[in-house]
Structure 1
Amino acid sequence: MATHPDPSGETLTERQQAVLDAVLALMVEQGGDLTMTAVARRASCSKETLYKWFGDREGLLTATVRWQASKVRAGNYDRQRLDAFALRDSLIRFAANWLGVISSPTSIALNRFAIAQAGARGSNLGAIMLANGRFAIGERLKPVLDAGREAGLIAFDDTETAFRTFIGLVGRDVQIRLLLGDRLNLAATEIERDAARATDQFLTLYGTEKTAPGRNPTNA
């Protein structure tokens, strides 16, 4: 059976992935007020299996957040031979991937539920979302930024600040508008265009002469 590693280092089987997809589907349909019984029914498995795999409801939600966040990855690159073209391509791939994920109905439902639960007494979902969503995604992109700096392609003092700048340029007001119900047209071609534009804006801010937008990266 095929497996998929999640950001925590654990390995999910196809069956476990299907269970987490069932959680996301339920969130899209009815919000986050779901029970282990409802998940078991939708995923055609027993509650005992859910408890065995994920622990309690919070463990199931944590695994769901990790599963959704695992879909956001930077493009492939060779750290030892990173050039301007590869850096730009990797950043564009990450940006397009992230925009595609956050604009999906599943991510919108998951984020709306997390926001609703953030102020609830005894709820840890907000912390779970930050640790396994935003912070985990940051740890996936920061090595790309650091590699670019080591290669002399970009220059910055603080990786976290550079990461936040990049995410801000990519996301703009898209996520908040989607969470508030705005029906944005985010077709694949538009996502790709926005990702490239944000990347070039980032390289304008942090790039060296080798990565100046408008130049052919292969000639850098």
Structure 2
Amino acid sequence: MQPSPIPSADRRRQRVHRAVRELLAEQGFRISMDAVAARAGCSKQTLYSQFGSKQGLMQSVVRERLDLTASSLDLGGEDPRQTLINFALEHLEHLCEPSVVATCQLLSAEAHEFPEDAQTLYRDGCDTLQQRLANWIESAMRNGRLRHDQPHLAAELLLSMIVGLDFERQRFAVPHRARLSARRHWAEYAVDAFLRAFATAEIPAADPAPIPQNN
């Protein structure tokens, strides 16, 4: 069976999102609707009609990325460990993309010049990801899969454990976990450590995953 063709509106949205991601890595917060329209091959009026504003366009791009990262949480699988490992792997894969590292470096350098844009981007991205993970953790706690504690703080703890120092390694151009096998080992180690910390009395914690000697 041939796959269903992608509707033209969805194809245009994909082109626009790709243009935004590319331009953010090149221009940072100085990105304009004119530049996006030129890169995506559409009119500025089309952008305003579809997204409403530059902020709405940015939110659409961020939301698409968050939906990909949090897809394993939304599926609601029966195995909390595998669900969190899948989440961790998706998050690490995204952070391992060179364009993401370049974008974050540029946006961090410009944040003091564009404080409102920076705060909005942080709220729509980092805060929202933390909240979606916290919602999943809270549900797992209610269902007796995790020990009852503060879900929002637990989500922040797990996110920091997942990322570790690898993003900083990339920012400073030192060797990082570029291979999927290395990221998987780290994801399993971080998730297992988290689950041991929040294990219930009824559910034994998993044995820690082995960590490879090199990255």
Q: TM-score range by the shorter chain?
A: 0.7 to 0.9
Residue type of the alignment partner of 2:31: L
Unpaired runs of 5+ residues, structure 2, are: 209-215
The 1:144/1:61 distance shift into structure 2, 3 A limit, reads closer
Output the CA distance in 2 between the equivalents of 1:113 and 1:62: 19
Stretch deviating more after TM superposition (94-103 or 47-56): 47-56
Q: Does 1:107 align with 2:106?
A: no
CA shift in 2, pair 1:137/1:120, >3 Å: same
Query: Residue type matched to 1:116 in 2?
Result: A
Match of 1:7 in 2: none
SS of the residue corresponding to residue 68 of structure 2 reads coil
Q: Which runs of 5+ in 1 are unaligned?
A: 4-11, 216-220
2:124 is aligned with 1:132: yes
Aligned residue pair count? 199
For residues 11 and 132 of structure 2, the distance between their equivalents in structure 1, rounded to whole angstroms, comes to 23
Q: Is contact 1:36-1:47 (8 Å) kept?
A: yes
CA contact (8 A) 1:74 1:141 kept: no
Q: Is the 8 A contact 2:162 2:190 kept in 1?
A: yes
* Percentage of identical aligned residues: 25
Of structures 1 and 2, the one with the larger relative CO (CA 8 A, separation 6+) is: 1
Q: What is the alpha-carbon distance in structure 1 between the residues aligned to residue 90 and residue 149 of structure 2?
A: 26
For each residue in 1:131-176, what CA deviation from the matched residue of structure 2 results, as whole angstroms up to 9, or x when unmatched? 2111111222223212221232221421111111111211112223
- Output the amino acid matched with 1:104: E
In structure 2, the CA distance between the partners of 1:147 and 1:60, relative to structure 1 (3 Å rule), is: closer
Residue 93 of structure 1, CA deviation: 0.7
Contact 1:74–1:91 (8 Å) recurs in 2: no
Q: Which residue of 2 aligns with 1:203?
A: 195
Number of the residue aligned with 1:38: 35
CA RMSD of aligned residues (A): 2.4
The CA deviation at 1:74 is 4.7
Superposed, which structure 2 residues align to 1:40-59 within 5 Å?
A: 40-59=37-56
Question: What is the TM-score when the length of structure 2 is the normalising length?
Answer: 0.80
Q: Distance in 2 between matches of 1:183 and 1:48?
A: 44
Contact 2:134–2:151, Cα closer than 8 Å, also in 1: yes
Q: What per-residue deviation string (whole Å, max 9, x for no partner) do you get for residues 168-210 of structure 1?
A: 2111122233234445232222221111110001011111241
One of 195, 198, 212 as aligned partner of 2:205? 212
Matched letter for residue 195 of structure 1:
A
Counterpart AA for 1:77: G
TM-score by length of 1: 0.78
8 A Cα contact 2:131 2:152, kept in partner: no
Correspondence list, 1:1-220, <5 A: 2=6, 13-28=10-25, 30-32=26-28, 33-75=30-72, 76-78=75-77, 82=78, 86-120=79-113, 123-209=115-201, 210-214=203-207
How far is 1:2 from its partner? 4.8
Residues 56 and 114 of structure 1: CA distance in aligned 2, closer, same or farther (over 3 Å):
same
- Letter of the 1:13 partner, please give it: D
